[in-house]
Amino acid sequence: MRGTPRLLLRRLALASSLGAGVAAGLLHRPAVCRDAGSQALSLESISSRVAALEVISRAQPAVATATGAGGGAELIDGRKIAGDIRSEVKAATDVLKQEHGITPGLAVVLVGARTDSSTYVRMKKRAAAEVGFHSVDKNFSESVSQQQLLDTVRELNADPAVHAILVQLPLPSHIDESKVLEAIDVAKDVDGFSASNIGNMCLRGGKPPLAIPCTPAGCIELLQRSGVPVKGQEVVVVGRSNIVGMPVAHLLQSMDATVTVCHSRTRDLPAHVSRADIVVAAVGAAEMIKGEWLKPGCVVIDVGVNSKPSDTDKRGYVLCGDVDFESAAQVAGKITPVPGGVGPMTIAMLMKNTLNLARHSLQLPRQPLRRQNSKY
Ligand code: NDP
């Protein structure tokens, strides 16, 4: 009997691999892989696959949503939720245009001709066009000087048609990445990584940050839109990076969860995970978190994007998360698949951040991430 839901979930996950989530998840890796552990997908292997992924990403998913099946976990459909968010951004953009006469503008700075970065940027631009944004491209050869990049960022800071600036990472080794990122006006920091935005996000009673890092914000949206209560819940976040683990832990704490952050020096990780009502996995280690570690009925948000060899897939590999999906889906109440879970949310949240920065430029309130006066 246990084989039936497991097989169903596996089929659903494989079906979801035909959707946009594949590329969205993978193609965030240029910024991610720099620090990822040894089991994470390498930049080079991503580069060789992005073209194929882009084609795959246009395919319609065979299964749009998945619900609980005979004792197995319910799938949290990131592709659908990301689509809903992009539709909302488009509707709000139309209102901004009609009522205020402005079009949100997203500028992307791309250096070099890396296939992975170029494809990722193309996907962002496609999403921006879909929601009706103005796009600005600043493309440079690998030999660009730091001064040229700094001048470009300052020029974009001063451009009233640009509300959001994204510098595609990684930059070539002769460029001081942090100096370029620090030059971005905080009011246009669409990734929300500036010290001011991160600081305001963490401060109790601080000013609302102008932007919240996209992947952590995507995790919060997945929970809220799947009806998962957060207040008072035990949450274990595995991973403490600046781009995922740390911000998602602060966001969940600000929503009144009791949060434990685990990392590579944590003793007895399974013991921590087994207490969690919600597990957020952001490790970069393929299928590390096992179903038998989980508390029955818990909610699993798997941020990881890894690859593992496959004899059956014609690409020779399949994508997987940081959670062993097959065993976890037998125990969890709800779970995000990889691909098709967190991955599609990151670009959707980039669009939402751009919209919010455009609203901020008009002194309009940003659309909040954390829902007020709700049980979530
Ligand atoms: P990092 O490599 O920057 O951080 C990994 C974290 O995991 C670190 O805090 C590290 O601990 C911790 N860790 C490593 N090994 C273990 C272990 N054995 N036990 C417990 N903790 C461990 O990765 P990122 O945060 O950038 O990314 C995490 C995952 O999320 C990756 O798979 C990445 O591909 C994916 N990702 C997906 C995105 C998407 O859009 N879907 C976007 C961003 C990331 P320590 O701090 O001690 O080193």
Question: Top-level CATH class of 3-81+212-343?
Answer: alpha beta
- Protein residues whose CB sits closer than 6 Å to any atom of ligand 1: 25, 28-29, 32, 35-37, 40, 215, 238-241, 243-245, 262-266, 269, 282-285, 303-306, 322, 342-343, 346
CB 300 within 8 A of CB 332: yes
Buried/exposed code over 113-130 (b: 16+ C-beta within 10 A; e: otherwise): ebbbbbbbbbbbbebbee
Phi then psi dihedrals of residue 294, to 5 deg? -85, 150
Q: How confident is the model at residue 205, as a pLDDT?
A: 79
CA of 238 to the centre of ligand 1 (A): 8
Six-digit token pair at 55? Answer: 């084609």
| Token pair 């590579």 in the structure block, residue | 264
Counting ligand 1 atoms within 8 A of each CB, the residue from 214, 264, 287, 288 with the most, and so the one to mutate, is 264
Place of tokens 């921006």: 128
245 closest CA partner among 253, 237, 257 = 237
DSSP characters for 205-227? Answer: T-PPPS---HHHHHHHHHHHHTT
Mean pLDDT for back-to-back runs of 10 residues, the chain (376 residues): 38 36 37 33 34 33 37 92 97 97 97 86 93 96 97 98 94 95 97 94 88 96 96 98 96 96 98 98 98 98 94 93 97 97 95 98 87 49
Query: Side chain identity at 261, as an amino acid letter?
Result: V
Q: Cα 272 to chain center, whole Å?
A: 24
Closest CA to 25 of 234, 319, 331: 319
260 contacts 239 by C-beta, under 8 angstroms = no
Which residue has the least CA distance to atom 26 on ligand 1?
32
The residue contributing the CA closest to ligand 1 atom 44 is 32
Cβ atoms < 10 Å from Cβ of 91: 11
Write down the domain spans for the chain. 3-81+212-343, 101-198+349-353
* Predicted TM-score of the model (pTM): 0.83
Could you tell me which of 147, 77, 64, 138 has the C-alpha nearest to residue 105? 138
CA of 249 to the centre of ligand 1 (A): 13
- Token pair for 107: 């500028």
Q: How far is the CA of 241 from the centre of ligand 1 (A)?
A: 6
CATH architecture of 101-198+349-353: 3-Layer(aba) Sandwich (3.40)
CA distance 44 to 213: 25
Active site residues: 124, 168, 191
Mutate which of 169, 241, 307, 346 for ligand 1 pocket (most atoms within 8 A of beta carbon): 241
Q: What is the pLDDT of residue 115?
A: 83
Nearest-10 crossing angle of helices 115-130, 50-58: 20
Tokens 């030059």, residue? 183
Is it true that 3-81+212-343 and 101-198+349-353 share their CATH fold? Answer: yes
